[in-house]
Structure 1
Amino acid sequence: MTPELLAPLDLAFWNIESAGHPLHMGGLFVFDADTPDAARRAADLLATRAARIPGLNTRIRPVLLPVGAAARHVAPDYDPSDHVHLAAPVRDFHVAAGALMQQPLERGRPPWAAHVLPGANGTSFAVLLMFHHAHADGMRAASYALSLLDPAAADWAPAPGGGAPRPEKTGPALRLPDPRKLPGLLRGAVTDAGQALSIGSAMARAAWNVHSSPALVSRGTGARRADGAVVDLRDVDRIRRATGGTVNDILLAVVAGGLRRWLDKRGDGSDGVRPRALVPVSLRDPNSHNGRNGQSSTNGQNSTNDPSASGNRLSGYLTRLPVDEPEPLARLRAVRQAMARNKQAGPATGPGAAALLADVIPPLGHRFGGGLIARSGRLFYDLLISSVPLRGVRGLTLANSPVREAYPLAPLAPGQSLAVGITTYEDRVFYGLLADAVAVPDLDVLARSLTEEAAELVAACGS
């Protein structure tokens, strides 16, 4: 396979993490075990399936040219069983997942791992899947997870010999452009520069106007705590029918209300708190190959035209969560109005489009500026709210054991204490929470606050 250069955003994700602060994403899947040895059989099956899934056999290595760049190569000694780990029995899957998420993925080999966690009761087990953000964005991570957990998806996958991502046809690293194309290249450069200035200006305004809470700020200890909350999808649909808007608006409003309850319970207070939430937007749109019609990754729809395509294709919306609003339906209206403004402006403008700035930074800038970029995130957003689109997917099994719960775990940026992941599987919505373990020792309180907020919204709609 010809090595494939990392796209600028992939290179940024590869360089901004450190050994003490990993930035991979995860997914915690809980299964009902059909037999006491189901976890062991699941580990064997994961290794077998992983051997046949395209892309999982590639690692990331630096290249000589362009200076500072890196590329994906097929790992010559790839052995899927090295990436699948069977743990000792655990009593709490979330506690175990938090401890594992603080461990960095090994950078010298394909950056993914699967941890199989047998339940202490023998009637259940969990699988924690971890993927480096340079290796997969949310859409592609979902594609990998479905291939590992869905027998129908794995059975047709080609063997790893031809399974690496298709290399971009960029030609030699150093090649002079066709003179006839120079006018178009210049126009593109001017357009990119104008867009970068617009995004940079919006980021500066967002950084200047802050109404957050100290509870959402962390020194970045690297320690991790995980937890989760579950909301009945029928309740979400009941709220939507009563209030209008989108499912996405309701899911974000539940986070806003849950944060309010959590801050008040811990004594920090919610008065005047309107934290800036970064909502990633997938630019994988089947109707637009240029990404202009990107969709929020919390809309519960698979908008990718090629989920297995390599490279991150992300932008984002930045929205203020009305945590200081005391009335639940008023919070929902505020969220709906803010997201409507974001969608009207589109995902290519505004401070949430900061990911697009990666394209105008040269590889050497990513190499040496990674630490600075990582620390700058807290300047313009306070927490990440991301989602993996699984709505419509049903019947996932592993070793004859069905998936009972699915919690996405979003990467936690340096300086921030909390990241929220959302997915919908079968008839329930799952909130996955990943937090700095030192800054948020009461993550279980936030998890309960989310379910309480959803119940209050249902009650408000009923009245």
Structure 2
Amino acid sequence: SRPLWEMWVLEGLATPDTVAVFFRAHHALLDGTSAAAVLRKLGGAGTTPSARDLDPVRVHAGGANPIGLVAGGLWDFSVRRPLTLARLVPEAAMLPWRLRRATATRRSGGNSAEAVEDGGDAAQTTPIPGAAPFTAPRTRFNATITPHRAVRGTSLDLTEMKEVKNAFGVTVNDVFLTVVGGGLRRYLRFHDDLPEKPLVAVVPVSTRGDEGTQGNNRVTVLFASLGTDIQDPLERLRAVARRTRRGKRRARGGMRPGLIQDVATLAPSGALSLVMRLYGDLHLADLHPVVHNLSVSNFPGPRKTPDFLGARVTHMYPLGPLMHGSGLSVTAMSLGDRLDVGINACEHLLPDPGLIATGLRESMDRLLELTREKAAGAGDAGATDSTPPGSTTTEEG
């Protein structure tokens, strides 16, 4: 009953001669990678002609072919659905075992062969529990969500993130997850709601080939611990990098990218809508264990500053979807030498996303400071990450 995509132009902003373009699409159409590709196509990379040079595009809506509709329906009913069902039955039976194998980690000390295999320093890395569904602690934003949203955008210096990445031999995504963990640690301490167990984030992992055109959604997911129980930012970075490296190898063996789409194809839409409506109306997400605390995503954007109908794009803040039981998402997209971060939250569960934005920036500043101190030979003893957002002290514990 609603459009699968829409675009709004928002005027009257505080900055003169600036407008915001708000683009929203249903996840059935796009995942993060394909959405970024669409935005690159819309914006170009400094090559989009001026608006006055564009000719209007005329769209013709042709009538549907009745024969084609009948043939397609017969094919879907008699061939596609039985084939999908035959594939799903054994896969569904094996899925719990595969997910357990994909997310299970051994609780071992820093001298384990697994830590050495993953490139960790056995003498300095802090083991953290393996992340798995339904093991996340409950926080203030893990409950049934409402339709109202609170959003905020912030930016991180991609050059600084790469400096940390190169210093420790990790990835930019490892640095980003560590920064998010530090920002959320500050935020939850500010609200006196920091759990002893580390927060668990669900992280989409693209399974596209180099051509990037394999369907609308080609993702699997991994469950990543954000190490919010670790005060030392450098220790958290090592732990997060070690776990995500191992998790990515196992995620491909857990859930097939097309599994959710196949299930949705077979499920009656009316019954599925009713179930989801009852799930929200009855607040069932408040009763069972938390599946995950939030979603965290990071994907590449345009390498060059794009134009949009002749106007220069200054920021691109992506906003991830929310679901019952997980009222927060933190999504980042690169734009030149900057990483723009969009924070999307349920307004009734997390009305102050600006505090998270502040915490992310301060967490990144502290991580960079400790990285440079370590490079200069100052060491990292006593480094902590516990200061509430907005604090003026350089210590985080």
TM-score (norm 2): 0.71
Change beyond 3 A, Cα 1:221–1:185: closer
Give the alignment partner of residue 318 of structure 1, picking from 219, 223, 226.
Answer: 223
Q: Match for residue 335 of structure 1?
A: 240
Structure 1 residue 198 corresponds to structure 2 residue 97: yes
Structure 1 residue 436 corresponds to structure 2 residue 342: no
Change beyond 3 A, Cα 1:412–1:157: farther
Q: What are the superposed Cα offsets for residues 251-296 of structure 1, whole Å, 9 maximum, x if unpaired?
A: 111101110011112222x35131221111222222xxxxxxxxxx
Give the alignment partner of residue 189 of structure 2, picking from 264, 270, 276.
Answer: 264
Contact 1:316 1:355 in 2 (8 A): no
Rounded to whole Å, the distance in 2 between the matches of 1:305 and 1:429 is: 21
Deviation of 1:127 (Å): 1.3
Rounded to whole Å, the distance in 1 between the matches of 2:234 and 2:292 is: 24
For the pair shown, the structure with the greater C-alpha radius of gyration is 2
Q: How does 1:3-82 map to 2 (within 5 A)?
A: none
Change beyond 3 A, Cα 1:457–1:359: same
Q: Match for residue 124 of structure 2?
A: none
Contact 2:200 2:223 in 1 (8 A): yes
Contact 2:159 2:337 in 1 (8 A): yes
Q: How does 1:412-451 map to 2 (within 5 A)?
A: 412-451=322-361
Deviation of 1:425 (Å): 0.5
Q: How does 1:87-126 map to 2 (within 5 A)?
A: 107=2, 109-126=3-20
Give the aligned residue type for 2:37: S
Rounded to whole Å, the distance in 1 between the matches of 2:292 and 2:163 is: 31
Change beyond 3 A, Cα 1:371–1:460: farther
Give the secondary structure class of the aligned counterpart of 1:454: helix
Structure 1 residue 380 corresponds to structure 2 residue 283: no
Deviation of 1:208 (Å): 4.5
Deviation of 1:345 (Å): 1.1
Give the aligned residue type for 1:380: V
Deviation of 1:455 (Å): 0.5
* Sequence identity percentage: 26
Give the aligned residue type for 1:385: V
Q: What are the superposed Cα offsets for residues 84-119 of structure 1, whole Å, 9 maximum, x if unpaired?
A: xxxxxxxxxxxxxxxxxxxxxx61x45322333342
Change beyond 3 A, Cα 1:356–1:274: farther
Structure 1 residue 228 corresponds to structure 2 residue 228: no
Contact 2:139 2:195 in 1 (8 A): no
Deviation of 1:186 (Å): 9.6
Structure 1 residue 453 corresponds to structure 2 residue 356: no
Change beyond 3 A, Cα 1:131–1:276: same
Give the secondary structure class of the aligned counterpart of 1:115: strand
Give the secondary structure class of the aligned counterpart of 1:434: strand
Give the alignment partner of residue 305 of structure 1, picking from 202, 212, 237.
Answer: 212
Number of matched pairs: 325
Residues 194-203 or 429-438, more deviating: 194-203
Change beyond 3 A, Cα 1:260–1:161: same
Change beyond 3 A, Cα 1:238–1:187: same
Q: Match for residue 17 of structure 1?
A: none
Contact 2:150 2:352 in 1 (8 A): no
Give the secondary structure class of the aligned counterpart of 1:284: coil
Deviation of 1:456 (Å): 0.5
Deviation of 1:310 (Å): 4.9
Give the secondary structure class of the aligned counterpart of 2:161: helix
Change beyond 3 A, Cα 1:282–1:371: farther
Contact 2:142 2:327 in 1 (8 A): yes
Give the secondary structure class of the aligned counterpart of 2:355: helix
Give the secondary structure class of the aligned counterpart of 2:74: coil
Change beyond 3 A, Cα 1:425–1:186: closer
Contact 2:5 2:25 in 1 (8 A): yes
Q: Match for residue 140 of structure 1?
A: 34
Give the secondary structure class of the aligned counterpart of 1:404: coil
Q: Match for residue 305 of structure 2?
A: 395
Change beyond 3 A, Cα 1:256–1:371: farther
Rounded to whole Å, the distance in 1 between the matches of 2:355 and 2:15 is: 25
Structure 1 residue 209 corresponds to structure 2 residue 135: yes
Whichever structure has more strand as a proportion of its residues is 1
Rounded to whole Å, the distance in 2 between the matches of 1:126 and 1:209 is: 39
Structure 1 residue 174 corresponds to structure 2 residue 74: yes
Deviation of 1:349 (Å): 0.2
Give the aligned residue type for 1:368: A
Give the secondary structure class of the aligned counterpart of 2:72: coil
Give the secondary structure class of the aligned counterpart of 1:408: coil
Q: What are the superposed Cα offsets for residues 383-405 of structure 1, whole Å, 9 maximum, x if unpaired?
A: 11123421x52121134331111
Q: Match for residue 356 of structure 1?
A: 259
Q: Match for residue 144 of structure 2?
A: 219
Give the alignment partner of residue 240 of structure 1, picking from 165, 170, 176.
Answer: 165
Contact 1:315 1:348 in 2 (8 A): no
Deviation of 1:229 (Å): 2.0
CA RMSD of aligned residues (A): 3.6
Rounded to whole Å, the distance in 2 between the matches of 1:411 and 1:454 is: 24
Structure 1 unpaired stretches of 5+: 1-105, 287-303
Give the aligned residue type for 2:29: H
Residues 111-120 or 422-431, more deviating: 111-120
Deviation of 1:185 (Å): 8.5
Rounded to whole Å, the distance in 2 between the matches of 1:332 and 1:266 is: 24
Change beyond 3 A, Cα 1:257–1:121: closer
